[in-house]
Amino acid sequence: MKVNKTWLALPMLITWLMLTFNVQARALPDFTELVADNGDAVVNISTHNKAEPASSMMPRGLELPEGSGIDDFFKKFFEGQQGGAPVPRESESLGSGFVISEDGYILTNYHVIKDAEEIIVRFSDRTELVAKLLGSDERSDVALLKVDANGLKTVKLGDSNALKVGEWVLAIGSPFGFDYSATQGIVSALGRSLPSDSYVPFIQTDVSINPGNSGGPLFNLKGEVVGINSQIYSRTGGFMGVSFAIPIDTVMNVVAQIKSQGYVSRGWLGVVIQDVTRELAESFGLDKPKGALVSRVVADSPAEKAGFKTGDVIIKFNDKEVDTSSDLPPIVGRTMVGKKVNVDIIRSNKPKTLKVTIEELPADEQLASNSPSKPGRFVDDRLSMEVADISPKQREELDLAKGGVMVMKVEQGPAIKAGIRPGDVVLSLNNKEIKDPHHFVEIAKELPVNKPIPVLIQRGGGSQFLALEIKE
């Protein structure tokens, strides 16, 4: 009897496929134990805020005949009025949190409990306790709560500095009010800086985070909390694959300050910075884009006292590398107030080290905004722009002691290609401070061609460098 060799090889093929499947299955993380071990330490947080009664909730376009009795009924229904007196309405917010100590300390986001008159914490066994707000920090979006309890299940805190891009992470929270939901993903990026939160080096993940997840923990595969889920990037209001968590080391620094002094203080350098683009790097004599470019030194700040100047490029702060401008604020913010540190800079193509004593970040830094200029204009045909002098009143509003010119008009040419716009204040051109419009025109005449030139402008309360190039 002749045996088909294909049939003899079939068992071996099946065995190989099963082994391959098992290897691939083992390569994927199993979060079941992690969720079982930590689910009881995650809590649901709801708040009650008294809201002002609305003067009218009547739907637009709904017209009812007066005196019919029906109009009175609907006014009471929609406006919440009884006998003509407005009925106070309450708003409720929903979020997540987690227990960090057996005696009832709980972490969540500041925005979850903002303006709350009552904070209610609900545990996995449906027990509800009223929490006391011990302290919060709006800048880092962290809040510390305390409930009157003992022997609570707690999470284990990890080291967010040890995280790596591509590492598996898991979130537990209450998206849309669905308690104790677990979602998984990977770390997408580290040290992300968001426009409204420059003092937090966010962890970016692709973990599914939605409204209600805020304040919940982000775990690594060891079952350690490495961050607090805080924000999402979305154009629809729902999850779109980009989520942000506050690193746990940042969070615990806030907690330590709240416990010790009742508030959070941060280090302050006193500079306005921007990224170094390829063109700006060339104009400042740098080999490649690197560091934080100082576009303004705040008056009477630690930076001014230490001798910082506009145009300095900060490449290292207190022995920590500054690759991009977003690296600097978190490093400065975590520096102890009163500490004297070394700052390595590039100035006029040469390395230099400055010593600066860090002060406390002011509660509310205000930068002046631009305002229209007055007549007395000068036209520069080479740059295709029109500038004007700045009146004493405008200088006060712009917080400008001296120098600078207001851009009145920009036409097609080098200036508009560099991004200069009407309303900008030109402070320096090719690293030379501008005294007045006439001085501006004189400097513009001497500018080299086919080479990026740094232009320092003030716009919308902030200052920044632009790279301008005049083609031959």
Per the annotation, the verdict on 380 as an active-site residue is: no
User: Is 245 part of any domain?
Assistant: yes
pLDDT band at 375 (very low <50, low <70, confident <90, very high): very low
Domain total of the chain: 3
Q: Report the distance separating Cα 21 and Cα 26, nearest Å.
A: 9
pLDDT for 391: 73
Angle at 394 between CA 391 and CA 395, to 5 degrees: 85
Q: Are 224 and 34 in contact (CB under 8 A)?
A: no
Report the pLDDT averaged over residues 252-265.
88
Q: Report the distance separating Cα 102 and Cα 27, nearest Å.
A: 35
Span 337-367, pLDDT tens digits? 899 999 999 988 889 999 999 998 876 543 3
Point out the catalytic residue in the list 48, 111, 206, 399: 111
The beta strand positions in 109-196, using DSSP E, are 118-122, 128-137, 142-146, 156-157, 168-173, 181-194
User: Is 349 part of any domain?
Assistant: yes
Q: Which of 3-17, 265-279, 425-439 has the lowest mean pLDDT?
A: 3-17
At residue 382, φ and ψ (nearest 5 deg) are: -65, -40
Same domain, 341 and 386: no
Domain of residue 436 covers 377-468
User: Is 123 part of any domain?
Assistant: no
Report the pLDDT averaged over residues 10-34.
69
Kind of pairing, strands 224-232 and 156-157?
parallel
Q: Per the confidence metrics, is the pTM higher than 0.85? A: no
Span 287-329, pLDDT tens digits? 888 999 988 888 888 999 999 998 899 999 999 999 988 889 9
- Domain of 317, CATH number, reads 2.30.42.10
Last residue of a domain, one of 211, 245, 261: 261
> Which H or E run includes 281?
helix 278-283
Report the pLDDT averaged over residues 255-270.
88
Q: Which residue has the higher pLDDT, 385 or 2?
A: 385
Span 168-206, pLDDT tens digits? 999 999 888 788 899 999 999 998 887 666 788 899 999
Q: Report the distance separating Cα 395 and Cα 241, nearest Å.
A: 46
User: Does residue 73 carry a pLDDT above 50?
Assistant: no
User: Is 103 part of any domain?
Assistant: no
Residue 39 forms beta bridges with which residues? Answer: none
At residue 41, φ and ψ (nearest 5 deg) are: -90, -10
User: Is 223 part of any domain?
Assistant: yes
> Which H or E run includes 50?
strand 42-51
Q: Is 40 annotated as belonging to a binding site?
A: no
pLDDT for 6: 55
pLDDT band at 462 (very low <50, low <70, confident <90, very high): confident
Q: Is 38 annotated as belonging to a binding site?
A: no
Q: What number of residues does the chain have?
A: 472
Q: Is 137 annotated as belonging to a binding site?
A: no
User: Is 368 part of any domain?
Assistant: no
Same domain, 302 and 384: no
Q: Report the distance separating Cα 364 and Cα 379, nearest Å.
A: 38
Q: Is 150 annotated as belonging to a binding site?
A: no
Span 417-431, pLDDT tens digits? 888 888 888 998 988
Kind of pairing, strands 217-219 and 224-232?
antiparallel
Point out the catalytic residue in the list 141, 312, 380, 436: 141
Q: Which of 56-60, 158-162, 318-322 has the lowest mean pLDDT?
A: 56-60
Same domain, 276 and 343: yes
How far are the Cα atoms of 17, 374, 460 from residue 389, in angstroms, in the given order?
Answer: 79, 7, 18
User: Is 90 part of any domain?
Assistant: no
User: Is 55 part of any domain?
Assistant: no
Per the annotation, the verdict on 141 as an active-site residue is: yes
Point out the catalytic residue in the list 214, 230, 301, 463: 214
Q: Is 141 annotated as belonging to a binding site?
A: yes
- Domain of 188, CATH number, reads 2.40.10.10
pLDDT for 197: 66
